[in-house]
């Protein structure tokens, strides 16, 4: 079975290590904050100028001066700090954020990512995504493996305009966890009940399948 949104978030959260500063993109990446492993303390960076993002506020805590990068009202965690957008992206561009998780339309086996623009459709903008993929070393892209029509989103070469070039090394889809090394996807884990054959069929880009591909483990 393909992973649910919650399982994708859970699997992302398994990558969280104690003491990590983490930037989570909008959507599934944000959900990962609900599954931080026990005994692991992380600090969430929101690129509009908050390090140490807390949960959504209670009704009486709502503050229009305190939002996240998705423009949602949030709270501050203990030990949080506030800074300008320039400082925020100095942190990101300077490689100080330990893990970045974001979504994409396509990735390819060269480590390219396309996530912000579909020509001919409305162009909303890249926000901070280009800075995040250029600045971070440790990035996980979360996405569906293929479109509803069964077209692979893991390609040899991205067809959409790029958000970043040669910067993606790890992709988590609803079917598999893959690394990108030396111009190939490498299948590391498969979703419970999903066969290697199905993943091979739905991966258009060059794919290396090791002898043993374990199933993902969920608590």
Partner 1 sequence: MSGFDKVVGSYEEAMAGLEDNMTVIAGGFGLCGIPENLIKEIKRKGTRGLTVVSNNCGTDKFGLGILLVDKQIRKMVASYVGENALFEAQMMSGELEVELTPQGTLAEKMRAGGAGIPAFYTATGYGTPVGEGKEVRQFKGRHYILEEAIQGDFSIAKAWKADRYGNLVFRKTARNFNPMAVTAGRIAVVEVEEIVEVGALDPDEIHLPGIYVNRLIQGTFEKNIEQRTVRSA
User: Site residues (CB under 8 A) for partner 1?
Assistant: 46-50, 55-59, 62-68, 70-74, 76, 82-86, 88-89, 92-93, 112, 117, 122-131, 134-135, 161-166
Of the two residues 86 and 219, which places its CB atom closer to partner 1 in the complex?
Answer: 86
Beta pairing partners, 155:
108
Cα-flanking dihedrals φ and ψ of residue 55, to 5°? Answer: -70, 175
**Using CA atoms, how far apart are residues 201 and 27, in angstroms rounded to an integer?**
27
- The closest of 153, 161, 158, 111 to 133, measured between CA atoms, is 111
Question: Closest approach of Cβ 124 to partner 1, in Å?
Answer: 3
- CB closer to partner 1 out of 108 and 174: 108
Least Å distance between CB 59 and partner 1?
Answer: 5
Check if the beta carbon of residue 208 is closer than 8 Å to that of residue 185: yes
Structure tokens at 69: 């990068």
Residue (17 or 72) nearer to partner 1, CB: 72
Question: How many whole angstroms separate alpha carbon 39 and alpha carbon 17?
Answer: 9
CB of 211 to partner 1, least distance (A): 34
Of 40 and 123, nearer to partner 1 (C-beta) is 123
Q: Please tell me which residue in 15, 41, 47, 189 is annotated as part of the active site.
A: 47
Phi, psi of 140 (to 5 degrees): -115, 125
The answer to whether the beta carbons of residues 132 and 102 sit under 8 Å apart is yes
Q: Does the active-site annotation cover 47? A: yes
Alpha carbon distance 186, 171 (integer Å): 10
Q: Which of 160, 22, 45, 38 is nearest to 104 (CA)?
A: 160
Min separation Cβ 159 and partner 1, Å:
14
Cite the active site residues. Answer: 47
């Amino acid at each position: 079975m393909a992973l649910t949104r919650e399982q994708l978030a859970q699997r992302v959260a398994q990558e969280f290590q104690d003491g990590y500063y983490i930037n989570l993109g909008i959507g599934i990446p944000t959900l990962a904050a609900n599954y931080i492993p026990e005994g692991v303390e992380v600090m969430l960076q929101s690129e509009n100028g908050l390090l140490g993002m807390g949960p959504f506020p209670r009704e009486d805590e709502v503050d229009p001066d305190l939002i996240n990068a998705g423009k949602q009202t949030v709270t501050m965690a203990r030990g949080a700090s506030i800074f300008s957008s320039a400082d925020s992206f100095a942190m990101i561009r300077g490689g100080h954020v330990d893990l970045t998780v974001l979504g994409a339309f396509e990735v390819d086996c060269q480590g390219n990512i396309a996530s912000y623009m579909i020509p001919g459709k409305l162009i909303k903008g890249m926000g901070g995504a280009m800075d995040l993929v250029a600045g971070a070393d440790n990035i996980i892209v979360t996405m569906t493996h293929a479109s509803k029509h069964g077209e692979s989103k893991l390609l040899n070469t991205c067809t959409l305009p790029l958000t970043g070039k040669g910067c993606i090394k790890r992709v988590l889809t609803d079917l598999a966890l893959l690394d990108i090394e030396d111009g190939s996807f490498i299948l590391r884990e498969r979703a419970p009940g999903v066969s290697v054959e199905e993943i091979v069929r739905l991966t258009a880009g060059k794919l290396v399948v090791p002898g043993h591909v374990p199933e993902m483990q969920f608590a």
